[in-house]
Amino acid sequence: MRSEESSTLDTKSMLHHVLTVEDPQGYRNFLLNNTTYSLGRSLENAITLRSNLVSRQHATLLPLASQKSSCFFRIIDGSLEGKRSTNGILINGKKRFSHILSHGDEILFSKDTKAVYQLISAIASIPKLGSSQNQTSNISYPNIKTQPFDETEPLRFSPIQSIPDHDIPAHFLKTVNQFISSPELNPRPIIELNLVGQILYINPAALSQFPNLEVMRINHPLLQELLVQLVPLVNPVSKFFVREVAIKDNVFEEIIHFMPWNEVIRVHIADVTKRKEAEAIISYQIHHDALTGLPNRKYLHEHLTETIKKLENKEQRFAVLFLDIDRFKLINDSLGHSIGDLLLNSVSDRLKILLKQDDVMVRWGADEFAIVAKEIYSTDAVVQIAESMIQSLTLPFNCGGHELHITTCIGASIYPDHNTDVEGLIRNADMAMYRAKAEGQNSFQFYVPNMQEQSFQRLSMENNLRRALENNELLTYYQPQIDLSTGKIVGLEVLLRWKHVSLGSIPPSQFIPLAEETGLIIAIGTWVLRHTCLQAISWQNMGLHPIQIGVNLSIKQLQQKDFLSSLQLILEETNLDPHFLELEITEGIVMDNVKEKIILLNEFRKMGIQLSIDDFGTGYSSLGYLKNLPVNTLKIDRIFIEYITYNEHDRAIVASIINLSHSLHLNVIAEGVETQEQVDVLRSLGCDQVQGYVFYKALPADEIEALLRAQGVTKPNQLEP
Ligand code: C2E
Ligand code: CA
Ligand code: CA
């Protein structure tokens, strides 16, 4: 059915009309002439679609040369004689009988066969083209780096990771879709190769950024080791892979798409150097103390977690020592902070000398240091370490012309004798340090379990808490979140309060950990969720503007198998639109079984629920993970906000967190904002919202109602007469 006419191009604009067909046997490009084409399964068609799912004569392309200078195509379903195909055609997802094609249109013939129509101004590098009229590329491409990249030996490759289809982040799919719609115009480099390492296709963006690709081929740093790493992973289930390649100072993320039917590997390349740098800076800052340069608490947590993991099933011991300088505050107050800072640095320097190679020392708090001493074979060894530390600090310090004499106290706990988890080891070493303080200056104490006293206290508290739920002693307070651009209340966070009959108001920090330990948090958490939804509905019924309310979730709740269904039930019972419910989750919660958690979080999102990462910066997660989490909002923890007005280090962390969040399209809330100066800094850094005492503390429901009413009413009062 192909006519003999041969006006190949749109002569005026030199545009080529290309149809890229992808069927189970691979993909081909057809350069379209100003003529009629039939498409279908039968070999008699001008363009054969090699799938059993398409009709013998499935569709027809008709040229429309209304103006001499240009040629367009209309696609119709079925043959020119009017016989329709069995299953029809979808154009860009919509069923059509007839459609005038424009650039990028996708035509679906069956679930395994599709085509993309493109207008292309140069055809130099299109492979397997249906015409020999190739010519050299003369297009200028938008957004392409004009400086070709310095292509030298790669420094390192990250191992290739396989990504299950349901875990593919949106930006991956976007890249792939972009490719399908137009590899030639895509500003991102794209390379295709087969399983024996022959390059089949290089798009113009790749050629422009990596001119050596054509010469070096498979030996180019971007492709080195690719097959070795990829081939063992290739199987029909997984189609997406990712790895990073560092070349000189740049890092490239390679999104690798394997197409099993034609065994072609497509590599999409993105320069992620800036993102990596930002992540590295933030990670360093988050893990280190600015004054002494020592690692910090967060680092200690991670280090201990890792160490314990390594020692599982091994007979090795290690000790955690807590060292505190006696009356450091006195030095700070009388001689000034700068002398205090000098002293801390000198103490840190002296202690460092005593560390063995694998030992780690962190700055735990203002005048507290924590030391992890490895390979401990006896308690005597720990005593010796502690004594030599105390001893070394008894010699006077010279700080800014002042001769300073200090004393210290040290407490220690031993893994696994005193505890086997991170929190327990730290808590026990800290308790031991306080016991040492009670003993007097320059003393050392091991942790001594005092089970009896502790368990008695716990038991009575546990009973009290159990009763609190039954006796309605638990209350919800709500803390407003303010939008920095409008000054309006745009959200609330629910914070639990326990009003005990005789003990008075007990803060959540004192009972939530116990509730978690005893499992009571499940009942309490369910109560908070239901109560919050009812409160939200009640405010909406009063005609107040609907507002989003955040509820804190505990890890124990998310570990419940039936959490999702109980949440659904609460939403159904209370009739709250899930868009007004936000769940606040800490990084630690997500990091506990990441894969499973991401699936669960996606379920929440599917229901319409909003998600935020709470206390960001204090947890254990790597920033890299953030982009894979389906969250809307990131809440920067109070510890970064506290000194933001005068501590550049903290300000830089917050700035980086805000920038990174915005690049991932996340909303950012700063927590614990207490002063107008902090608000001003946060506004200048582009922070979206703030929560803190500078605006409001957590307030009871009736006070919130008044605040919301002051912001305006949407509809007539429905509840009250
Ligand atoms: P969070 O989620 O980080 O909540 C914010 C805490 O910071 C609240 O303490 C709040 O009163 C306090 N805060 C807010 N603005 C400021 C400020 O400007 N300055 C200072 N210094 N503090 C501020 P709160 O109410 O004591 O809650 C402590 C923690 O208890 C919460 O931390 C949350 O982790 C937990 N919590 C509270 N309610 C619940 C709950 O219903 N369920 C669960 N699982 N945890 C809860
Ligand atoms: Ca929270
Ligand atoms: Ca928080």
- Using a 6 Å cutoff on CB, does residue 582 contact ligand 1? no
pLDDT of residue 304 exceeding 90: yes
Strand, helix or coil for residue 120:
strand
- How many Cβ atoms from other residues are within 10 Å of residue 86's Cβ? 11
- H-helix or E-strand spanning residue 332: helix 328-335
pLDDT of residue 517 exceeding 50: yes
pLDDT of residue 492 exceeding 60: yes
Interval between CA 140 and ligand 2 midpoint (Å): 50
Interval between CA 583 and ligand 3 midpoint (Å): 12
Class in CATH terms, 15-121: mainly beta
pLDDT of residue 484 exceeding 90: yes
What is the Cα–Cα distance from 373 to 298, expressed in whole angstroms?
A: 18
Res 623: pLDDT: 63
Q: Please provide residue 712's backbone torsions phi and psi, each rounded to the nearest 5 degrees.
A: 115, 155
Interval between CA 667 and ligand 1 midpoint (Å): 20
Res 594: pLDDT: 79
Residue minimizing CA distance to atom 7 of ligand 1: 672
Q: Please provide residue 63's backbone torsions phi and psi, each rounded to the nearest 5 degrees.
A: -75, 145
Q: Report CA dihedral (235, 236, 237, 238) to the nearest 10 degrees.
A: 60
Interval between CA 619 and ligand 2 midpoint (Å): 13
Average pLDDT over residues 246-267: 85
- Using a 6 Å cutoff on CB, does residue 116 contact ligand 1? no
- Using a 6 Å cutoff on CB, does residue 261 contact ligand 1? no
Give the confidence band of 375 by pLDDT, cuts at 50, 70, 90. confident
Lowest mean pLDDT among 293-307, 420-434, 604-618, 705-719: 705-719
pLDDT tens-digit readout, 600-611:
999 999 999 999
Average pLDDT over residues 635-647: 91
Q: In sequence order, what DSSP letters do the residues of 644-711 get, joined into one string? A: TTT-HHHHHHHHHHHHHHHHTT-EEEEES--SHHHHHHHHHTT--EEESTTT---B-HHHHHHHHHHT
Res 624: pLDDT: 65
Six-digit token string for 150: 């310095």
According to CATH, where is 3.20.20.450 located in the chain? 473-712
According to CATH, where is 3.30.70.270 located in the chain? 288-449
- Using a 6 Å cutoff on CB, does residue 614 contact ligand 1? yes
Interval between CA 413 and ligand 1 midpoint (Å): 30
Atom of ligand 1 nearest to the CA of 671: 15
Please tell me the number of the ligand nearest to residue 494's CA: 1
Sequence-distant (6+) residues with CB within 8 A of 499 are: 473, 475, 505
Out of 492, 495, 636, mutate this one to test ligand 1's pocket (max ligand atoms within 8 Å of CB): namely: 495
Residue minimizing CA distance to atom 25 of ligand 1: 495
Residue minimizing CA distance to atom 10 of ligand 1: 698
- Using a 6 Å cutoff on CB, does residue 255 contact ligand 1? no
Six-digit token string for 679: 């608000």
Interval between CA 230 and ligand 1 midpoint (Å): 47
Out of 475, 517, 552, 634, mutate this one to test ligand 1's pocket (max ligand atoms within 8 Å of CB): namely: 552
Beta strands in 81-187 (DSSP E): 89-91, 94-96, 98-100, 106-110, 113-120, 154-157, 161-163
Average pLDDT over residues 88-109: 88
Interval between CA 613 and ligand 2 midpoint (Å): 8
Contacts 24+ apart (CB under 8 A), 90-99: 98/74, 99/74, 99/75
CATH number assigned to the domain covering 155-277 = 3.30.450.20
What is the Cα–Cα distance from 369 to 564, expressed in whole angstroms?
A: 42
Give the confidence band of 622 by pLDDT, cuts at 50, 70, 90. low
Which of 286, 303, 364, 278 lies closest to 640 in space, CA to CA? Answer: 286
* 8 Å CB contact between 26 and 261: yes
Q: What percent of the chain has pLDDT over 90?
A: 44
- Using a 6 Å cutoff on CB, does residue 528 contact ligand 1? yes
Entry pTM: 0.49
Lowest mean pLDDT among 151-155, 494-498, 521-525: 151-155
pLDDT of residue 137 exceeding 80: no
Average pLDDT over residues 246-266: 85
Query: Which residues on adjacent β-strands are paired with residue 586?
Result: 614
According to CATH, where is 3.30.450.20 located in the chain? 155-277
* 8 Å CB contact between 610 and 566: no
pLDDT tens-digit readout, 438-464:
777 889 998 887 633 454 455 567 778
Q: Report CA dihedral (488, 493, 498, 504) to the nearest 10 degrees.
A: -30
Res 340: pLDDT: 92
Interval between CA 466 and ligand 2 midpoint (Å): 23
Res 312: pLDDT: 85
Tokens 């971007």: give the residue. Answer: 222
Res 523: pLDDT: 93
Strand, helix or coil for residue 228:
helix
Q: Under CATH, what is the fold of the domain 288-449?
A: Alpha-Beta Plaits (3.30.70)
Res 307: pLDDT: 95
What is the Cα–Cα distance from 580 to 585, expressed in whole angstroms?
A: 16
Res 122: pLDDT: 43
Q: Regarding predicted confidence, which is higher, 284 or 601?
A: 601
- Using a 6 Å cutoff on CB, does residue 496 contact ligand 1? yes
Please tell me the number of the ligand nearest to residue 554's CA: 1
Please tell me the number of the ligand nearest to residue 641's CA: 1
- H-helix or E-strand spanning residue 624: helix 623-626
pLDDT of residue 286 exceeding 90: no
pLDDT of residue 144 exceeding 50: no
CATH number assigned to the domain covering 473-712 = 3.20.20.450
